[in-house]
C-alpha cells in the first residue's frame, strides 16, 4: 500500500490548487454532503479547477453511510464521464471520506481521490490511514477496502465552525491516540482547555495525534498486527454506537469511542494492572465531557451480539486492544461473555 501524504494547510484555497498542479488527471469531481456544500465548499469554490469540476452532494449523517448512497455516487461518476484517470475530492467529515474513498476505490477498479476533512473527527481518524467503507445491516463499516488517498489536506480553519458535540467527537480519538503514545501525550490531552479553546494549540495537538496514527499505519497498512492498536476503545464503542442507532437515539462516533475507552481501560486494569489512578482520571474526564451511554442490563445480550460481529475477532471470544500503561499496547487480547458482562457492570455502576 502506498503512503498518503498529509499536508498541513494554512489556507486550503491556496494550497489545494498548488497540489493539484502536481497531479496529472482527466476530469475532476467533488463530493460534499448537505452541510459541507453549504459551509465548506464556498471556501474553495473560487479555485478555477473547482469551478470547472463536476460536483455532487449526498445527505449528511451516518445513517446515510450505506449502499444506497454509495450507489448514487457511483451513478454520478458514471453518468458524468469519469474514467480511470479521473480524480475525486472528498470534502467532508468521516462519513463522507469513508464513503467517497470507497466509491473511488471500486469505480472502474479504482480511481484516485483526495480527502479534505472538515471535522476534527475526520481529520484525526477517518480521512487518514486508507480505510474506506459503508455500514451494512446495522453494523459499522461492514463493507469496505483499504485504499489510501493521494493526499489528505488538513486545514484547522474548518474546525472553528464546529459545535461542541462535533468537536468533542473528534477529541475522543485524540484521547485514544494519546493513550497509545505516552504518559506525556496523555497529560497534554487531559489538560487542554475545552471550555475556552485555543485553536492554535488544538491544531498542534491534532498533528501530534495524526502523527501517532500515521506512524502505526506505515508499519502495518493492512491491519495484520500493530495497526490493531488503533481499535482501542472501538470494540465496546462500535457496539454502543450500533445499539444507539437501533434504539433510534444515535450517538456521535467519538462519544461511543470515549465510553468504549472507559470499558476497555477497565478491562486493561483487570488483565494487565493498568494504573487505577489514570483510569479514574479518564473516567472523570469522559463523564464530565461526554456523559454516559444509557443502557440497561437487559441490553447486555444485544451488545455482546454486536461485538461478535467485530472484524477483529478470530475466535468465539471477543478480541480487544488493551494497555499495560499509556504507550504500552497489548493487541489480540480476548475476553469471554462473563468478563464482558463484568465490564458492563462496572460501567453502569
pLDDT of residue 312: 73
Q: Is the pTM of this model over 0.85?
A: yes
pLDDT of residue 3: 66
Structural domains in the chain, CATH included, are: 6-161 (3.40.50.1970), 164-348 (1.20.1090.10)
What is the CA 103 to chain-centroid distance, rounded? 17
Q: What is the CA radius of gyration of the chain?
A: 20
CB 95 within 8 A of CB 42: no
Give per-residue pLDDT as tens, 142-163.
999 999 999 999 998 899 889 9
Q: Are strands 54-58 and 28-33 parallel, antiparallel or unpaired?
A: parallel
Q: Which residues of 44-76 are buried (b: 16+ CB within 10 A; e: fewer)?
A: beebebbeebbbbbbebebebbeeebbeebbeb
| Residue 294, helix vs strand vs coil | coil
What is the CA 114 to chain-centroid distance, rounded? 16
HSE value, Cβ hemisphere, 13 Å, CA-based, for 313: 15
Residue 138 clears pLDDT 90, i.e. is over it? no
CB 113 within 8 A of CB 149: yes
pLDDT bin (cut points 50, 70, 90) of residue 259 is very high
For range 249-255, the mean pLDDT? 95
Q: Are strands 328-335 and 318-325 parallel, antiparallel or unpaired?
A: antiparallel
Give per-residue pLDDT as tens, 261-319.
999 999 999 999 999 999 999 999 999 999 999 999 999 999 999 999 876 777 778 99
Whole-number percent of the chain with pLDDT over 70:
99
Distances in Å between the alpha carbon of 319 and those of 92, 268, 293, 312?
A: 31, 13, 22, 6
Amino acid at each position: 500500500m502506498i503512503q498518503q501524504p498529509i499536508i498541513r494547510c494554512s489556507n486550503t484555497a491556496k494550497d489545494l490548487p498548488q497540489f493539484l498542479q502536481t497531479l496529472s488527471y482527466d476530469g475532476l469531481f467533488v463530493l460534499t454532503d448537505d452541510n459541507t456544500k453549504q459551509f465548506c465548499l464556498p471556501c474553495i469554490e473560487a479555485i478555477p479547477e473547482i469551478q470547472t469540476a463536476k460536483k455532487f452532494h449526498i445527505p449528511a449523517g451516518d445513517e446515510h453511510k450505506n449502499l444506497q448512497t454509495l450507489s448514487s455516487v457511483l451513478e454520478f461518476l458514471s453518468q458524468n464521464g469519469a474514467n480511470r484517470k479521473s480524480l475525486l475530492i472528498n470534502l467532508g467529515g468521516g462519513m463522507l471520506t469513508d464513503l467517497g474513498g470507497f466509491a473511488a476505490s471500486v469505480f472502474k477498479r479504482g480511481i484516485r481521490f483526495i480527502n479534505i476533512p472538515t471535522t476534527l473527527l475526520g481529520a484525526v481518524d477517518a480521512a487518514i490511514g486508507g480505510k474506506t467503507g459503508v455500514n451494512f445491516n446495522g453494523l459499522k463499516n461492514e463493507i469496505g477496502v483499504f485504499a489510501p488517498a493521494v493526499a489528505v489536506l488538513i486545514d484547522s480553519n474548518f474546525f472553528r465552525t464546529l459545535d461542541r458535540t462535533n468537536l468533542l467527537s473528534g477529541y475522543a480519538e485524540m484521547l485514544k491516540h494519546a493513550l497509545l503514545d505516552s504518559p506525556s501525550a496523555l497529560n497534554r490531552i487531559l489538560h487542554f482547555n475545552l471550555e475556552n479553546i485555543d485553536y492554535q494549540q488544538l491544531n498542534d495537538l491534532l498533528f501530534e495525534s495524526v502523527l501517532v496514527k500515521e506512524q502505526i499505519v506505515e508499519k502495518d497498512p493492512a491491519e495484520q498486527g500493530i495497526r490493531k492498536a488503533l481499535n482501542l476503545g472501538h470494540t465496546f464503542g462500535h457496539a454502543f454506537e450500533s445499539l444507539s442507532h437501533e434504539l433510534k437515539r444515535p450517538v456521535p462516533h467519538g462519544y461511543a469511542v470515549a465510553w468504549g475507552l472507559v470499558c476497555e481501560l477497565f478491562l486493561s486494569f483487570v488483565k494487565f494492572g493498568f494504573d487505577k489512578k489514570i483510569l479514574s482520571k479518564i473516567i472523570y474526564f469522559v463523564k464530565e465531557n461526554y456523559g454516559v451511554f444509557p443502557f440497561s442490563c437487559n441490553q447486555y445480550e444485544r451488545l455482546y451480539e454486536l461485538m461478535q460481529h467485530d472484524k477483529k475477532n478470530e475466535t468465539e471470544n471477543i478480541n480487544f486492544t488493551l494497555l499495560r500503561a499509556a504507550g504500552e499496547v497489548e493487541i489480540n487480547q480476548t475476553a469471554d461473555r462473563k468478563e464482558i458482562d463484568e465490564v458492563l457492570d462496572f460501567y453502569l455502576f
